[in-house]
Amino acid sequence: MPQQAKAPPTQPFRADAFAPSDDTTLRWLGMAGFLINSRGTTMMIDPLLRGFDMPIMIEMPVTAADVPHLDAVLVTHSDNDHYSVPTCRDLAGVTDAYHSTQYVAGLMTDQGLPAHGHDIGDQFDVGAVRVEVTPADHAWQNESPGAATRIFRTEDACGFWITTPDGTIWAPGDSRLIEEHHLRMPAPDALLFDFSDSEWHFGLAGAARMANAYPGTPLLLHHWGSVDAPDFPPFNGDPQTLHALIENPQRIQVLAPGEPYRLQRSPSAG
């Protein structure tokens, strides 16, 4: 059995992580999820805090019951490690709005959630934070017979470009590499980095190309170390493989779930 890389021990957090502050802090939630607190504006991206259908190797750093308030939940696509219906429903009482693609927002509305659907390229504000919906290519269901009862469109999945008072964050979502997009954006101040070697993700080589297109950008690793799936490429990435593949490997951020990361403007950011 192949060895599975595991995330560092979880650093739990509670209500103080959601309080007003003088900066922008990110916390990896495990899986593909993040909490962003930008000077008191709070949002989660792809939170999965319970109810996943595969064995989990980590302790989640926060429970929905310990979340005092979220200005928004952003969801990149409908896979259940990104759109966790149990988690989104658990957070409904403290969340002002849910944002995703038109398709996923329809699913959320069916669950009674206050959802807003967006087209690729749309922009919207969450407090003082501006969010732009970016392209993704993750319609894997169309090549997996029996995976769905509908034809998935490219615009059913997305990423998010997030502009805060303290810098930019790019959450590209799950996607195959789109060269004209993923390699040609302005340099973000933090890249939420999926490096899984899966054909419906960037692939390890594609992830390295993307990292090297922005050689000064910190890489906040996710989509690894959380699921006990050593033979399943979307979940079995190992941060050690990155050091020989990317420029400036010291920018690799192997965060523990719940560990705070303070956003800082990069000199190379555009």
pLDDT digits (tens, 9 = 90+) for 195-209: 999 999 999 999 999
Q: What's the DSSP call for residue 189?
A: S
Contacts for 28 with CB less than 8 Å, ≥ 6 apart: 34, 220, 221, 222, 255, 256, 257, 258, 259, 261
Question: How much is the pTM?
Answer: 0.97
| Residue 43 structure tokens | 């949002």
Q: Using CB atoms within 10 A of its CB, is residue 149 exposed (0-12), middle (13-18) or buried (19+)?
A: exposed
User: What is the pLDDT, as a whole number, of residue 268?
Assistant: 58
The phi-psi region of residue 31 (left if phi > 0; otherwise alpha if psi is between -120 and 50; otherwise beta) is: left
Interval 35-75: pLDDT, tens = 999 999 999 999 999 999 999 999 999 999 999 999 999 99
Architecture of domain 15-146+153-255: 4-Layer Sandwich (3.60)
| Residue 239 structure tokens | 């941060």
State the pLDDT confidence band at 102, using cuts at 50, 70 and 90.
very high
The C-alpha angle 125, 130, 135, rounded to 5 degrees, equals 105
Residue 267 pLDDT more than 90? no
How far apart, in whole angstroms, are the C-alpha atoms of residue 8 and residue 54?
Answer: 19
Residue extents of the structural domains in the chain:
15-146+153-255
State the pLDDT confidence band at 190, using cuts at 50, 70 and 90.
very high
Average confidence score pLDDT of the chain = 96
